[in-house]
Amino acid sequence: MQTLIHFVISIWVQLVCAVVIVAVLPLVAGYIVLMERKVMADMQARLGPMRVGPHGLLQPIADAVKLLLKEDIIPDEADKGIFWIAPLISVTAGMLAMSALAIGPWFQIADLNVGLLFVVGIGALGIFGIVLGGWSSNSHYSLLGALRSAAQLVSYETAAGLAIVGALLLAGTLSTREIIEAQEDYGVWFVFAAPVGFFIYVVASIAETNRAPFDLPEAESELVAGYMTEYSGFRWALYFLAEYTNMVVVASIATTLFLGGWLRPFAGTPAFNFLDGFPSLLMLVVAGYCFYRAPKQPVKIQKMFLAAVGGLFILAAGILAAPLMAPPGSLVASAKPGLHGAFWFLLKVGLYLYLFMWLRFTFPRYRFDQLMRLGWQFLIPLSIVNVMGIGLALVLHRQLGWSHWTAFPLTTILTLVVAGMLASAGAKKDKEHAVVGEEA
Amino acid sequence: MAEQRIPFATHAETTVLGADEIVLNMGPQHPSTHGVLRVKLRLDGEKVIGSECVIGYLHRGVEKIAEHRTYTQFAPYVDRMDYVAAVSNGLGYCEAVEKLLGAEAPLRARVIRTILTELQRIASHLFWLGTHALDIGALTPLFYCLREREEILKIFEKYCGARLTTHAFRIGGLQYEAYDEFEKDVERFCKPFDKRVDEYESLLTSNRIWVGRTKGIGILTAKEAIDYAASGPVIRASGVKWDIRKAMPYAAYDLYKFEIPTGKNGDTYDRYIVRMEEMRQSRLICLQAIENIPAGPIMGKVGKVLKPPPGEVYHSIEAPKGELGYYIVSDGTTQPYRVRIRPPSLINLEAFDKMIRGHLVADVVAIIGTLDIVLGEVDR
C-alpha cells in the first residue's frame, strides 16, 4: 500500500495531464470544428452556426449529443471486428501522440528522450485505422479513400520527416522540451533559421492530416466521404475526433519545432517585456466583445450565458495577470512560466490551425496524380536539399565561425534556388504530358 | 422481386497490372452528380476505362403531359425542366407556339423578355460556377455566386412573384407589365456585376490548382463537338462560333451588340473561361436593353383560346446550357398533338463518355460539372 501511494505521488502530474488530455481533447476538437465553421462562414459572407447558444457557442455539445444518440450502423457485408476497432486505432494513436508534447513548461505527460520520434511514429500509426476502416467497410468508395490515404501518408510523411530532421539538426536533441530550450538559447525561432523547412512541414502536415487542398481520401465530391462512407454515429465521430486530434498534434509539432513552443515573441529581449501583458489584454478584449454582444441576444438565458462567458474570460485575464502583479519570488509569481507558456503555445497552435482553415476555404482540391507529383518530385527533393543546406550552415557556423546572420540566409537562398529549379523542371515536364486524355 | 446487384468486379484483360476492373457506381444519390444522374464507371485503379450514364430517375413525362393540356396550360410545365433557368425554358416554348400561330409579340414584350432571359443566363451560369468549383474542391465561390444569384431571383420575384419556376411569359407577350423600379433594379445589379465576376476569377482563373484540375481535362475537339451535336458553351469552347442568338436571332437580340466568346482547346478550362465571358456579355446586353425599353402594349393579338392551324414548327433558343428546341405538331385543336423537346443538357451529356475515358475518378466530377447538366432537363 505504501509503495502504491508513493508510486501515485511520483506520477501524479503525469496522471493529471493524461486525464486532462483524454477528457478535454474531444471538447477542444468540438470547438475547433466550431471555429472552423465560423471562419468558413466569415470567408463566405454568412454567419455560420447561430442557433445553439449565443453565436452557436453550444453547437459542439449539441453535435456530440446527436452523434452519440445516432444509430450505429455496421454494414451487413463488412468485416465486423475490424470495422469495429478501426476508428479506435485512429483516435488512440492521435491521443497517444499528444503525450510527449509539452504544452508549456509545466504541462507534459512524459518528457521522452526520443520525444519527437515517438510523436511522429505514433501519429503515423493512425493511418492503420483509416486503411483498416476503408478495407473492412466492403465498399468501393471506402476502399479508394483508404488507398489514397495510405499512399498520401507514405509520400508526405517522408517530406515531413525530412523537414523535421532539418530542425532537429539545429536543436541537436529529440526531446520536445529541449528543442524549445534550444530555441531559447539561439535567441531565434527555427522558422527564421530554416524557413524552407517550415514551409515543407506546413504543406506536408496538411497532406498528412488529409485536409484540403489535399483532402483526397475523403473528397466529398468524388468519393462521398472516402474511408468514412459507411460509418455513422459515434464511430464516425471517432474518425472525426481523430482527424482533429491529428491536426492539433501536427500543429503542436510545428509550434514546438519551428515556432518556439511556449516562448513569448522576443523572449530573450527585456525591451519587449511589455508583451507579457498581451495574454491578459487579449482575454479582456474577448471579454469586452462578449459583454458588448450580450444585450443584443434575443433570449434572456442567452444574454446571461454570453455574460457568463465574458466573466470567464475576465477571470482568465486575472489569472494570467496575477503572476505579473505579485511580488517577485512569491508562489504566485513563480507560476508565470507555466501559465504564460501554455497561453503562447496554444495561441501558436490556434494560429497554425487557422492557417489550415484559411487554405482549405481558398483552394480547390488537388488531383491524385498531381498530389503525388508534388510530393515526390518537389517536396521530397527539396526537403533533402534543405537538410543539406542546414547541415552546411551549421558547419559554417560551428566549424568555420561564421555568424548566424550570414550562414543561415546564405543556405536558405541556396535552397530556394534549388526549389526554383525543381519547380521549373516540373513545369517543363507538365508541358510534355499536357494531354492525358488521349490514350484510352 | 429479383434483387439487382452490381457485380463487384468483372474480369477483363485491359487493366495495366492485370488486376480486376472495378465497377464503381456513382449516383443517383451522390453529392456531385447534380441531381439524380447515375454513372457506372469501369475503373482500372483510379483510371476510368469506360462509363455509362443511367438517366431517367427524374422522368416525369413532360412531353406526354403536353398532349393532354391546352397550349396555355402546358406553359408552366416547361419551367420545371431546367429549373435553374426557368425563364429561358418559358421563352422557348412561348416563341415556338407564337411561331405556330403566326403571331409575334410586340417589341416592348420582346425587349423585356430579352432582359429577363439574359438575367436568367447570368443566374444559371452563377449556379454552374458555384457548384462546379465546389465539385473541384473550392468551397467558397459557391457562396459568392449564390449571393449575386439571389439579387437576380429577387428581381424575378418582384416581376412575377416566383423565384425559381417563374412562368414569366405568356404566349403572345407578357403576363405582367414591368414593375416601376424594374430598370433601376436591373441596373443596380448589372453595374457592379463586372467587378463581382473579377472577384470570382481572382479566386480561380490563375490558381495553379484550378488550372491543373481543368486544363487538358475532358477535351472535345471542334469536329467531335459537332458530331455529338453539342451546343452552348460546350461547343463554343471547342472553337465553333455557334450561338443561336446571333445565328437565328429571336426575341430582341438583333437590336443589341454583343460578342460570342469562343475557346480553343475545348477542355474544361476553356469552357470555364467561355462561361465567365458570357456572363459579362449578358450583363452588357442587359445594360443596353434597359437604356431604352420601348413603350407600347405587352400582348400581341393571339385570342383567348389558342387554336393553331394544323402543322408543325421547330423553334430553338440559346438557353444557358445550349440549344433548347421545341418541336410542336398541331392537329388544329386546342391541345398540341405532340411536343418534342430538345434539351441541351441531354445532348451535351452524350459526349460524357468520350470526354472521361483515360482520366481519373476525380475528373468525373469535373467533367459532369463542366457539362452543366440539370437532371430535370435531361430526364424531363
Place of cell 528522450: A113
For A269, the 3-state DSSP assignment is coil
Are the beta carbons of B139 and A213 separated by less than 8 Å? no
Query: Does B126 fall in a domain?
Result: yes
Cα–Cα distance for residue pair A406/A402, rounded to 1 Å: 7
Whether B91 and chain A come into contact, CB under 8 Å, resolves to no
CA distance A50 to B4: 45
Task: Specify if B1 maps to a domain.
Answer: no
Distances in whole angstroms, Cα of residue A48 to Cα of each of B77, B148, B224, B368, B371: 36, 19, 45, 29, 31
**Chain A contacts of B209, Cβ < 8 Å?**
213, 363-366, 370
The pTM assigned to this predicted structure is 0.82
Q: Facing residues of B47 across strands? A: B44, B360
- State pLDDT tens for residues B242-298: 888 888 888 888 888 888 888 888 888 889 999 999 998 999 898 888 888 888 888
CA–CA gap between residue A147 and residue A144 (Å, rounded) = 5
Q: What is the rounded average pLDDT of the residues B4-33?
A: 61
Residue with cell 441596373: B187
- In contact, B90 and B96? CB cutoff 8 Å: no
CA angle A300, A301, A303 (to 5 degrees): 65
Nearest to B69 by CA among B325, B297, B339, B358: B339
Query: Distance, in angstroms, between A8 CA and closest chain B CA?
Result: 50
Shortest distance, CA B28 to any CA of chain A (angstroms): 12
In this structure, the answer to whether residues B41 and B153 fall within a common structural domain is no
CA distance A438 to B51: 16
pLDDT band at A219 (very low <50, low <70, confident <90, very high): low
| pLDDT band, residue B19 (cuts 50/70/90) | low
CB contact under 8 A, B147 and A435: no
Indicate whether B1 pLDDT > 50: no
Alpha-carbon distance values, A114 to A14, A118, A120, A177 (Å): 17, 6, 10, 11
Give the C-alpha separation, B158 to B151, whole Å: 11
Residues B34 and B74 in one domain: no
Tally of structural domains, chain B: 2
Which residue of chain B comes nearest to A211, CA vs CA?
Answer: B137
Inter-chain contacts counted by CB atoms under 8 A, chains A and B: 108
CB contact under 8 A, B216 and A436: yes
Using an 8 Å CB-CB cutoff, list chain B residues near A222: 32, 361-362, 364-365
* Chain-chain contact of A45 with B144 (C-beta, under 8 angstroms): yes
Do B21 and B134 fall within a single domain?
no
Q: Give the tens place of pLDDT for each residue, B28-68.
A: 777 666 778 888 888 877 788 888 888 888 888 888 898 88
- A260-274, B82-96, B124-138, B341-355: least confident range: A260-274
Render pLDDT for B325-344 as a digit per residue (tens, 0 to 9).
999 998 888 888 989 998 89
DSSP A34-78: HHHHHHHHHHTTS----SSSGGGTTHHHHHHHHHHHS-----TTS
pLDDT the model gives residue B122: 92
Contacts of A207 in chain B (CB under 8 A): none
Which CATH number characterizes residue B181's domain? 1.10.645.10
At B186, give phi and psi (nearest 5°): -65, -40
Asked if A129 contacts A93 with a C-beta cutoff of 8 angstroms, the reply is yes
How close, in Å, is residue B200 to chain A by CA atoms?
11
Considering the domain architecture, whether residues B130 and B162 belong to the same structural domain is answered as: yes
**A363 vs B5, more confident:** A363
Relative orientation angle of helices A278-293 and A300-325, to the nearest 10 degrees: 160
- Closest Cα to residue B298, out of B104, B166, B118? B104
Q: Residue A374 above 80 pLDDT? A: yes
| A375 contacts A223 by C-beta, under 8 angstroms | no
Report which secondary-structure segment, H or E, holds B185.
Answer: helix B182-204
A45 to B31: CB separation less than 8 angstroms, yes or no: no
Find the radius of gyration of the CA atoms of chain A.
Answer: 24
Q: What is the total residue count of chain B?
A: 380
Residues of B numbered 360-379 whose beta carbons fall under 8 angstroms of chain A's beta carbons: which are they? Answer: 360-365
CB atoms B133 and A43 under 8 Å: no
- Indicate if B46 and B144 belong to the same structural domain: no
- Residue A228 grid coordinates: 468514412
Of A412, A338, A337, A394, which is closest to residue A171 (Cα–Cα)? A394
Contact B355 A437 (CB under 8 A): yes
H or E element that contains B170: strand B169-170
Q: Tell me which chain B residues have a C-beta less than 8 angstroms from the C-beta of A140.
A: 22, 24-25
Report the Cα A428 to chain-centroid distance in Å.
34
Q: How far apart are CA B371 and CA B380, in angstroms?
A: 17
Q: Is B2 domain-assigned?
A: no
Question: What confidence score (pLDDT) does residue B18 get?
Answer: 57
The three cell numbers of residue B139 are 468551397
| Domain match, B101 and B147 both | yes
Interface test with B, best of A37, A363, A378, A432 (most B CBs within 10 A): A363
Do B66 and B46 lie in a common domain? Answer: no
Q: How far apart are CA A105 and CA A82, in angstroms?
A: 39
Q: CB A440 to CB B137 under 8 A? A: no
Residue B313 phi/psi, 5-degree rounding, is -150, 145
Cβ atoms B380, B59 nearer than 8 A: yes
Residues in chain B closer than 8 A to A366 (CB atoms): 137, 209, 212-213
pLDDT reported for residue A432: 62
Query: Which residues in chain B have Cβ-Cβ distances shorter than 8 Å to A213?
Result: 137, 209
Cα dist. A185→A109, A179, A196, A267 in Å?
24, 10, 21, 10
Q: In b/e form, how buried is each residue of B17-31, taking b as 16+ CB within 10 angstroms?
A: eeeebbbbebbbebb
* Model pLDDT, residue B327: 92
H/E stretch holding A213: none
**Residues β-bridged to residue B312:** B329
B37, B126: one domain: no
Same domain, B217 and B361: yes
The pairing of beta strand B38-44 with beta strand B336-342: unpaired
Instruction: Render B270-284 in DSSP notation, one character per residue.
Output: HHHHHHHHHHHHHHH
B203 touches chain A (CB under 8 A): yes
Q: Are A159 and A141 in contact (CB under 8 A)?
A: no
Q: Identify which of B143, B219, B361 has the shortest CB distance to residue A46.
A: B143
CB A145 within 8 A of CB A153: no
Angstrom distance (rounded) from CA B10 to CA A359: 40
CB B298 within 8 A of CB B177: yes
- Model confidence pLDDT, tens digit, residues B354-377: 888 888 888 888 888 888 888 888
Q: Which of A40, A211, A221 is the best substitution to test chain B (most B C-beta atoms within 10 A)?
A: A221
Q: Which helix (H) or strand (E) holds B38?
A: strand B38-44
CA A7/CA A49 separation, integer angstroms: 47
State how far the Cα of A259 lies from the Cα of A348, in Å rounded to an integer.
7
Nearest by Cα to B40 from B53, B58, B22, B57 = B53
Distance from CA of B276 to the nearest CA of A (A): 18
Question: Chain A within 8 Å of B280 (Cβ-Cβ)?
Answer: no
pLDDT at B240: 87
Nearest CA among B119, B123, B277 for reference residue B183: B119
CB contact under 8 A, A438 and B203: no
* Phi, psi of A225, rounded to the nearest 5 degrees: -140, 20
A235 sits in which H/E element? helix A233-257
Give the domain extent around B133: 62-379
CA angle (B168 as vertex; B165, B169 as ends), nearest 5: 130
Q: Indicate whether B112 and B205 sit together in one domain.
A: yes
Q: Could you tell me the residue ranges of all domains in chain A?
A: 11-263+360-427, 270-359
Whether the pLDDT of residue A378 is over 80: the answer is: yes
Report the relative pairing of strands B9-10 and B21-26 from DSSP bridges. antiparallel
Distances in whole angstroms, Cα of residue B17 to Cα of each of A316, A370, A373, B93, B138: 61, 21, 21, 53, 33
E strand or H helix at A326 = none
Q: Which residues of A136-162 are buried (b: 16+ CB within 10 A; e: fewer)?
A: bbbbbbbbbbbbbbbbbbebbbbbbbb
Model pLDDT for residues A149-172, shown as the tens digit of each residue: 888 888 888 888 888 888 888 888
SS3 call for A307: helix
Judge contact between B39 and A222, C-beta under 8 A.
no
Nearest alpha-carbon partner for B204 in B369, B340, B65, B50 = B369
pLDDT in tens, A18-67: 888 888 888 888 888 898 888 888 888 888 888 887 888 888 888 888 88
pLDDT at B137: 82
Closest Cβ–Cβ partner in A216, A222, A439 for B365: A222
A417-432 per-residue burial string, b: 16 or more CB within 10 A, e: under 16: ebbeebeeeeeeeeee
Q: Are residues B313 and B371 in the same domain?
A: yes
Computed over every residue of chain B, the mean pLDDT equals: 84
* Minimum distance, in Å, between the CA of residue A141 and any CA atom of chain B: 8
Helices then strands, counting H and E runs in chain B, come out as 15, 9
Cell of B101: 400561330
B70 shares its domain with B23: no
